[in-house]
Amino acid sequence: MLVERRKRLLGEEHPDTLTSIANLAPTKQNQGQWKETEELQVMVMETRKRILGKDHPDTLESNANMAIIHQNQGQWKKAEELQMMVIETKKRVVGEEHPDTQESIAHLALTYQSQSQLKEAEELEEMEMEMRKRMLDEDLDL
């Protein structure tokens, strides 16, 4: 197994090992192994936070992945809290109009849609659309 080999060769906290573990989580989820999925993702998220810092892109990706796991389990409040934290951090670190921030906003809008919070979803989608439109207009002006 790739994960075990990477742990042995690179160490449990090596970025490539953590990526392999993070990639294993969706497979476990697709097999209905929710507990294992969450345990893997939490381990990756906490390790990245400790090693790379809470604002590092890989740590934020782990937080976003954990939010998706919560979303798939119908744990809407947990998903929403993580997504909002990711959005706020990305706004501060890479900017509000960065594509990664926009993607996180779109994920939060989907969380709202899934809960039939259509007004909140629409507001986020309109905000995202306006930002993307502004970015496209700026690119065309070059």
**Mean of pLDDT values over 2-10:** 88
How much of the chain, in percent, has pLDDT values that exceed 70? 97
Amino acid at 82: L
**Mean of pLDDT values over 44-51:** 95
Tokens of 71: 């979303």
**Can you give the pLDDT at residue 81?**
95
CA distance 4 to 75: 30
Rg over CA atoms, the chain? 17
Tell me how far CA of residue 38 lies from CA of 20, 58, 91, in angstroms. 15, 17, 26
Q: What are phi and psi of 116, to 5 degrees?
A: 60, 30
